[in-house]
Amino acid sequence: VTFLKGSVSMSTLPPPDRGEVAFIGRSNVGKSSLVNMICNRKALAYTSKRPGKTREFNFFSVNDKVDIMKEVKYGDEVRGVKDFDCFYIVDLPGFGFAKVSREQKDEWSKFQKEYFESRKNLRVVFHLIDSRHGLVSEDERIMKECSEIFKGKKDVSYVIILTKADKNDSTGRGKVSKTVMESVRNAMRENGVGSRPIITTSAETKYGRDGVWTYLKEAFNG
C-alpha cells in the first residue's frame, strides 16, 4: 500500500480505473487509524489525538501494478490466471470539528456529496461511529444522505463501523453497549438504510479486521 495523493476537488481525483472504498465519519472517530489497521501499517495515514488531522481526501493505492496469480478451475484442469487485486482506499476529513471554519466545512461536505454522487468506481462507503457514544446529529444527516444517494446505486455498499471497541472492554472482544447498538439500528431504520450488518472494530487490538476485509474485497477488479 502506498500513499498516492490528497485531493480537494473532483477535478483532481485520480482516474477511476479501479475499485475504491472510502472511510467517512466524525473528526477523531478513528478513520485514519482504521486505514492503518487494515493495511497492517503504523503510520501510513497520519493520525492525531486532536481532531481535524486529515484535511484532504487522501488516496492510498493497494497492490498497484502487482499481478497476482490466482488458480482457477476449468473443468478438471487448474490454471493460473492473472488477478488484478488493486484498488484505492480513501481517507476523508472528519466532519463536526469545531475549529474548522464554516466555509471549509461547507466545502468538504459539498465535495463529499458530489463525490458520493458521481464517483463511478466507488464500491464501499464505511461510515465510522464511536462505539462509546453512538451517533451525533451530523451522523444522522450523513446517514440519510448516503441512504438517498446509494439507494439507486446497486454496486455501492454502505457499511456502518463502530470504532474504538477496546475502550468499552479491555479484553478486546468488541463489546458495545445495548443502548448504542439499538440507537444505531434505530437510526438506520429511520433514515432508510434498513437492517444490515454492523462491524465493530478496534485499531488497538485489531478486532474486526476480517469483517472490514470482507467488504474490501468488493472493491477488487474495479
Footprint on this chain of Mg ion (rule: CB under 5 A): 31-32, 53-54
Query: What residue ranges in the chain does DSSP mark as E strands?
Result: 2-7, 19-25, 57-62, 68-74, 77-83, 87-91, 122-130, 157-163, 198-200
- Stretch touching ligand GTP by CB under 6 A, among 11-19, 66-74, 78-86, 164-172: 164-172
- Binding flag, residue 131, ligand GTP (CB under 6 A): no
- Binding flag, residue 211, ligand GTP (CB under 6 A): no
Q: List alpha helices for 40-168, DSSP H.
A: 102-118, 137-151
CA-based end-to-end distance of the chain: 17
Take residue 139 and report the three cell numbers written for it.
Answer: 451522523
Q: CB-side exposure of 133: number of CA atoms within 13 Å? A: 10
Q: How distant is the alpha carbon of residue 54 from its chain centre? A: 14
**63/60 Cα distance (integer angstroms):** 10
Q: Which does 29 bind (CB under 5 to 8 A by kind): ligand GTP, Mg ion, none?
A: ligand GTP
Among 49, 73, 99, 154, binds ligand GTP (CB under 6 A): 49
Residues 118/166, Cβ–Cβ less than 8 Å: no
**72/80 Cα distance (integer angstroms):** 6
Among 21, 88, 164, 193, binds ligand GTP (CB under 6 A): 164
Residues 62/165, Cβ–Cβ less than 8 Å: no
- Binding flag, residue 47, ligand GTP (CB under 6 A): yes
Among 56, 83, 138, 204, binds ligand GTP (CB under 6 A): 204
- Stretch touching ligand GTP by CB under 6 A, among 47-55, 81-89, 107-115, 173-181: 47-55
- Smaller CB separation from Mg ion, 104 or 147: 104
- Stretch touching ligand GTP by CB under 6 A, among 67-75, 99-107, 137-145, 202-210: 202-210
- Binding flag, residue 18, ligand GTP (CB under 6 A): no
Among 13, 18, 19, 28, binds ligand GTP (CB under 6 A): 28
- Smaller CB separation from Mg ion, 54 or 112: 54
Q: Which residues bind ligand GTP (CB under 6 A)?
A: 27-33, 47-49, 51-54, 93-94, 163-164, 166-167, 202-204
